[in-house]
Structure 1
Amino acid sequence: MSKQVQGYVFLTLAMVLVGSTVIASKIIAVGLPPFTATALRFAVAFPVFLILMRMTRTGWPKLDRRAWILLVLQAGAGSVGYTTLLISGLKLTSATDAGVIIGTLPVVSAAIAILILGERPHRFTLIAIVLATAGVVSIAFRPGESGMHSLVGNALIFAAVICEGLFILLNKRLRTPIPPLALSTLMTGLGLAVAAVPAVFETPLAVGMSAASFWAVIYYAIVPTVGGFLLWYAGAARVSGAEASLFTAVAPVSAVLFAVILLAEPVSRNQIIGIACVLLAVMGLGLQSLKTIKSV
């Protein structure tokens, strides 16, 4: 197996694990409050990342006050904000809807860069934004359709995607380069600190914490969080950044398939249209990046 093919396999597996977080969050939402679940996730993942740093002899970066402020904001938005909003949204809406919406992350990140950083959009980027918007609208507004489809729930999922997009934006603002493993360790540690405060005011025992929810958090912490990180960077080291970006399209597909297979959720015509639009948008962004690299 060539180095490039190995990269493709690792990236695919990483995005399959990302898709599985939707199912884990759906199970968690039934038996655990969002901040308690988030704090528990990071409490489990943090020591694992510390062990990995020690094993790989990864050092801590020297950061100034501005960098620490940006990291805390990143942890609040991308780590805590994303997880809590995803869990809260999945209390109200289906995992299939959520799977389609999280697939818009690359497009949302591009839109945030245009709006906040003032980046000049390529025409393909604008087309991708329109396609992704059409995909979200197709599943968000379905008057008269039965099933677990909540406009509020879908809005919370989309808010989670925006939080993750802000995480990417804030990462671009960091002046000091931070090794990926060190950054992930910092995000889990700071995420634990941020989530622990509101978690104190939640009452997990009062809502009846289930064993399924507990084990779903453990799975989320170990497999997608740590395992997904290792697979993604192992794959990204073997292919170009533009090629790696194409594989983000695997996450919404795997999330929808997991929802159908594991949760027995039906797939409607609107959801099929939505995921098709999102996939076209993500693939378009990736192909645009590849074209840009080849023209340089």
Structure 2
Amino acid sequence: MRKQVEGYLYLSLAMVLVGSTVVASKVIASGLPPFTATALRFVIALPFFLVLMRLTASWWPKLTRRDWGLLFLQAAAGSVGYTTLLISGLRFTSAAHAGVIIGTLPIVSAAIAILVLGERPRRSLLLGIGLAAAGVLAITVRSGEGGDWFGNVLILAAVVCEGLFILLNKRLRTDISPLVLSSIMTMIGLATAAVAACLEVPWAITMTTGAVWAVIYYALVPTVGGFLFWYAGAARVSGAEASLFTALAPVSALFLAALLLSEPVGPVEMFGVGCVLAAVLATGLSGFFQARRRMRATRPDMSSQTR
């Protein structure tokens, strides 16, 4: 029981940190170009991942050309695409709205799997997709009045990039540990973002102090710290239980946007995050109960042994 409670605590902290990346990205967007900020984030995070690999005696895997190609696409979509689109979108929309949209990631990932892999959707997933769409639509219609709908579209594109990252990871033929995968993603992401950053002429721009500190925070706390918390928690609970905690990310983003950025959070934002929470929980609880039923079905029948 204690191990399970510890797992819940670690997963909660990890998702709170994920929510905080939205606020950090909002600060970054006001003082740094997106590719420059992304490259700087990877420069800071990479040494810490390499040290963790050394401490845990993790080894680089032997990969085929196909797997290297998939890893490059993963890094381009999930590492560079997600971060740059998130920062770019937050130039036009609020962190509160971005937090609601980011919360749809589990639903978007499942929808991509249905469209691309042809997976058969459960009724709960279809319900989740409908609820998530209602939540995003609510804030987007509201955003149309203020002109920040374009930012919402960019944030949604960032979520799609992260969903593609998850999908591509399922196509890898070589088993790669999470720590090694994160290190590889950081290295490829750094190389890709650095090339694109040159087009932004970073040496000629004036970086604000707040944006630089936000990048440092993003690189060390949510990226490295969030990784450690998530996998420490995931090791103590089932995968179905861990997936439920992703619902905390939009709540964290909404709360931190109001607390740290003084952004208004009204009925529309609350309705949007409520729909997203219901979508994630409906999908996650369905998976949780299905996993429980499978466990019971495969458990030996003790009653027959005592007759």
AA in 2 matched with 1:96: A
Secondary structure of the corresponding residue to residue 77 of structure 1: helix
Residues in 1 aligned to 2:130 and 2:181: alpha-carbon distance in whole angstroms: 32
Q: Hey, what does 2:76 align to over in structure 1?
A: 76
The question of whether the paired residues in 2 share the 8 Å contact of 1:46 and 1:188 is answered with: yes
Q: Aligned to 1:260, which of 240, 258, 278?
A: 258
Name 1:2's counterpart in structure 2. 2
Aligned equivalents of 1:264, 1:13: Cα separation in 2: 22
Contact between 1:29 and 1:91, CA under 8 Å: does it hold in 2? yes
Cross-structure match for 1:277: 275
Which residue in the other structure is 1:242 paired with?
A: 240
1:160 CA displacement: 0.1
Work out whether 1:220 is the aligned partner of 2:218: yes
Q: Which residue of 1 aligns with 2:227?
A: 229
1:294: Cα distance to partner? Answer: 1.7
**Which residue identity is paired with 1:153?**
G
Distance 2:251 2:203 in 1: 35
Answer with 278-287 or 137-146: which moved more.
137-146
Structure 2: which 5+ runs fail to align?
295-307
Corresponding position of 2:158: 160
Q: For residues 271 and 134 of structure 2, what CA distance do their matches in structure 1 show?
A: 9
Cα RMSD, aligned residues only: 1.1
Letter in 2 for 1:127: L
Structure-2 separation of matches of 1:107 and 1:204: 36
Q: For 2:124 and 2:240, how far apart are their aligned partners in 1?
A: 15
Instruction: Name the structure 1 match of 2:201.
Output: 203
CA shift in 2, pair 1:124/1:193, >3 Å:
same
Following superposition, the deviation at residue 268 of structure 1 comes to 2.1
1:203 to partner: Cα distance = 2.7
Matched position secondary structure for 1:221: helix
Q: CA deviation at 1:206?
A: 4.5
Fraction of identical pairs, as percent = 67
1:49 maps onto 2:52 in alignment: no
- 1:13 alignment counterpart: 13
The answer to whether the aligner puts 1:292 opposite 2:290 as a matched pair is yes
Match in the other structure for 1:112: 112
| Aligned residue identity for 2:223 | T
Q: State the distance in 1 between where 2:248 and 2:145 align.
A: 27
What is the alpha-carbon distance in structure 1 between the residues aligned to residue 289 and residue 241 of structure 2?
Answer: 11
Mapped contact 2:143–2:149 kept (Cα < 8 A): no
Structure 1 residues 42 and 130: CA distance shift in structure 2, 3 A: same
Amino acid at match of 2:71: L
Change (3 A) 1:226 1:126: same
Q: Counterpart of 2:17 in 1: which secondary structure?
A: helix
Aligned-residue offset at 1:229: 0.2
Change (3 A) 1:55 1:139: same
For 1:171, which of 169, 172, 177 is the aligned residue? 169
State the 1:70 CA deviation: 0.1
Aligned partners of 1:84 and 1:259: how far apart in 2? 19
For residue 208 of structure 1, report the CA deviation from its aligned partner. 2.3
Q: Distance in 2 between matches of 1:207 and 1:18?
A: 28
Q: Aligned in 2, Cα 1:142/1:195: closer, same or farther, shift over 3 Å?
A: same
Aligned equivalent of 2:305: none
Whole-Å Cα distance in 2 between the matches of residues 143 and 21 of structure 1? Answer: 21
* Residue aligned with 1:31, SS: coil
For 2:73, give the aligned amino acid.
L
What's the counterpart of residue 39 of structure 2? Answer: 39
* Cα separation, partners in 2 of 1:4 and 1:193, compared to 1, 3 Å: same
Offset, 1:270 = 1.3
**1:189 aligned partner:** 187
**Count, aligned residues:** 294
Cα distance in structure 2, aligned partners of 1:221 and 1:143: 30
TM-score, normalising length: structure 1: 0.97
Whether contact under 8 Å (2:15, 2:249) holds in the other structure is yes
Q: Which string of whole-angstrom CA distances, capped at 9 and with x for unpartnered residues, describes residues 250-294 of structure 1?
A: 000000000000000001221111100000000011101111112
| 3-state secondary structure, aligned to 2:202 | coil
Normalised by the length of structure 2, the TM-score is 0.94
For residues 66-97 of structure 1, give each alpha carbon's deviation from its aligned partner in whole angstroms, at most 9, with x where no partner exists. 00000000000000000000000000100000
